[in-house]
């Protein structure tokens, strides 16, 4: 194996197979993946902080089956922080990605996709955001997801809630409503998001379904409200995706979504790793408010 040792901030990191092309049909080597995570780190780390991360690892590249890793690998360097998370009767040790070196270490494991829960490890029952996972069914795509996201934004805004949107890096969009208050519970976010999804389905039956059944999703956007659960994880903002092209789950300004929607160009929403760095360094973290904005869900009690 081809190893390179680097020392960053007093931490020694062994990097291997840097020339290996993990996106063979596009051409994106592990060296470039690490370069991506190195440069996106200042924007991404605040979102990963203290979250029990699940890795989707692609050691043989994106054209081969990945594997999921919840348990933090036992061969981890001593400086990787971890957290115990209890699922049912079993406690698992998860990795926490709290610094750039750990992010690069994960990249070196070909953990292209980093999935995180909506709550931090220290308070696993307290979601700090509510999410709407807009998942296009067969025959639908980003164009329809974009339309649904814009309606959703206006609907939530009418409820006094500010929301933020990112690409999933695959076919869909994620709309997040920051909460950031201690009393938030998954019961509340689930009740609220389900009611929203059902209203959307009722008023836009040709565009939206709130039901998981595959039939119902044909040519529609499935608003997956059930992601609002302590046991669920979602792709982290700024994470790479394991598909043909190194697309990233990337935040968008609502105005950009609106303009692309008006021009009928929503299918072009995907953001590649290279563009992601350029954009983030230009505009800063468009998802910063998701971390700090305090909002309470109204009309629940």
Q: Which spans of this chain sit near other proteins (rule: CB under 8 A)?
A: 138-139, 151, 154-156, 158-159, 191-192, 194-196, 198-199, 201, 203, 205-206, 209, 211, 215-216, 218-220, 298-301
Q: At its nearest, how many Å lie between other proteins and the CB of residue 209?
A: 5
Q: At its nearest, how many Å lie between other proteins and the CB of residue 262?
A: 13
Q: What b/e sequence results for 62-95 when a residue is b if at least 16 CB atoms lie within 10 Å of its CB, and e otherwise?
A: beeebeebbebeeebeeebeebebeeeeeeeebb
Taking the least distance from each CB to other proteins, the nearer of 100 and 217 is 217
Strand partners, 209: 222
Taking the least distance from each CB to other proteins, the nearer of 191 and 245 is 191
Q: At its nearest, how many Å lie between other proteins and the CB of residue 97?
A: 30
Q: Which residue has 């470039």 as its token pair? A: 32
Taking the least distance from each CB to other proteins, the nearer of 194 and 293 is 194
How many angstroms separate the CA atoms of 250 and 280, rounded?
Answer: 9
Taking the least distance from each CB to other proteins, the nearer of 83 and 297 is 297
How many angstroms separate the CA atoms of 54 and 136, rounded?
Answer: 24
Q: At its nearest, how many Å lie between other proteins and the CB of residue 232?
A: 20
Q: At its nearest, how many Å lie between other proteins and the CB of residue 26?
A: 24
Taking the least distance from each CB to other proteins, the nearer of 13 and 207 is 207
Q: At its nearest, how many Å lie between other proteins and the CB of residue 146?
A: 14
Taking the least distance from each CB to other proteins, the nearer of 151 and 230 is 151
How many angstroms separate the CA atoms of 265 and 248, rounded?
Answer: 18
Taking the least distance from each CB to other proteins, the nearer of 107 and 172 is 172
Q: At its nearest, how many Å lie between other proteins and the CB of residue 140?
A: 9
């Amino acid at each position: 194996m081809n190893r390179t040792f680097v020392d960053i901030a007093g931490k020694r990191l062994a990097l291997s197979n840097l020339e290996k092309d993990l996106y063979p049909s596009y051409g994106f080597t592990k060296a470039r993946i690490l370069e991506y995570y190195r440069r996106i780190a200042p924007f991404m780390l605040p979102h990963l902080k203290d979250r029990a991360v699940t890795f989707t690892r692609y050691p043989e590249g994106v054209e081969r089956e990945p594997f999921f890793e919840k348990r933090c690998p036992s061969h981890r360097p001593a400086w990787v922080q971890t957290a115990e998370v209890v699922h049912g009767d079993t406690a698992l040790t998860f990795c926490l990605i709290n610094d750039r070196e750990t992010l690069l270490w994960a990249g070196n494991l070909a953990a292209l996709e980093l999935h995180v829960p909506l709550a931090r490890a220290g308070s696993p029952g307290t979601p700090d955001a509510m999410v709407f996972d807009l998942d296009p069914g067969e025959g639908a795509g980003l164009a329809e997801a974009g339309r649904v996201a814009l309606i959703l934004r206006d609907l939530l805004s009418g409820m006094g809630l500010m929301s933020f949107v990112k690409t999933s890096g695959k076919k869909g969009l994620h709309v997040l409503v920051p909460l950031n208050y201690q009393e938030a519970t998954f019961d509340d976010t689930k009740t609220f998001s389900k009611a929203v999804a059902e209203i959307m389905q009722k008023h836009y039956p040709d565009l939206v379904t709130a039901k998981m059944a595959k039939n119902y999703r044909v040519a529609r956007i499935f608003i997956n409200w059930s992601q609002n659960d302590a046991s669920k994880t979602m792709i982290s903002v700024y994470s790479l995706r394991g598909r043909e092209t190194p697309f990233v789950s990337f935040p968008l300004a609502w105005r950009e979504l609106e303009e692309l929607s008006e021009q009928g160009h929503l299918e072009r929403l995907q953001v590649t790793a290279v563009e992601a760095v350029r954009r983030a360094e230009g505009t800063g973290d468009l998802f910063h408010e998701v971390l700090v904005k305090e909002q309470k869900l109204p009309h629940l009690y």
